[in-house]
Chains A and B, each alone.
Chain A
């Protein structure tokens, strides 16, 4: 009797409820993409049909490409422009963020000093101060400085939400690294530069790549700060999509753009899943 009780509590298999729950969540997450995909290939899709009355395939004599995709891939939709902007801003943000966070993460992982926990809390602040507050306040300053509507302005504000994640991920990397190998190399007579180049960097690389990818991801997903600072002059994928759906309706071309905006996320998901240390997210606040 007692033994059976242990077994049920210690079971490492899923219960029936959990099985259904996992399926429901998968449906909740992925399900809405199905009508989106259908919408982008529909020629006419009237209410209350569950599937389009006329697919693009049946109307190929009228247009060679699916109508929505023809528009999405044309310069008129500005999708290419937005994609280039998104990638360019993401890359620059990642490089700057890495450059300023790497030394700080090394110190945070290895040194003890007064005010360290306050410092760490300060670095987490951007995660818990509402974006709208910071965005609007900075917009005022940037308009004065002439940085609003420029790449520089957008890149600078993107640093705010990316720094906390980068710091957390890099600190975790340095903590996992330890100092043993570096000390060994020093004892064997390597110079500081040699230790850096031949020991630290190669061991650090996977973690740094993960941090960089994640930072890139965060930057590409930022809407509010880009929208405020871009002033409509510089568009990225999230702000382009916003302007398409701001009216609260979704036509075929908006469905196509939504799918395009999803693609970078899927690519990054496939790459990063192997690199990202889940432990970096388990860290609490200021403890």
Chain B
């Protein structure tokens, strides 16, 4: 079973890497700084390492999906990220795609179960 667990960990890691972007974009209709996002996402059941999130935020910013602004009024200067106009559009499209993937996969997984039940 230890073997299966190892495979599972690897596959989960890949799966998470792909979906984390959706999670991040979903939380940024209001400006957030990096660590507040880490906390927020983990509270909602999407754990993400700061070492993964921070480079991801910069990459999304570079791609033009996020805008950023330094807030130097607080005790600690923080960089806030917010969805850009393109980012919003992309996120909306992404959600539609995601839902269709989820429903297709659900369909596939459940049908697989039905067939097995039918065979035996």
Binding between chains A and B: no
B residues adjacent to A (C-beta < 8 A): none
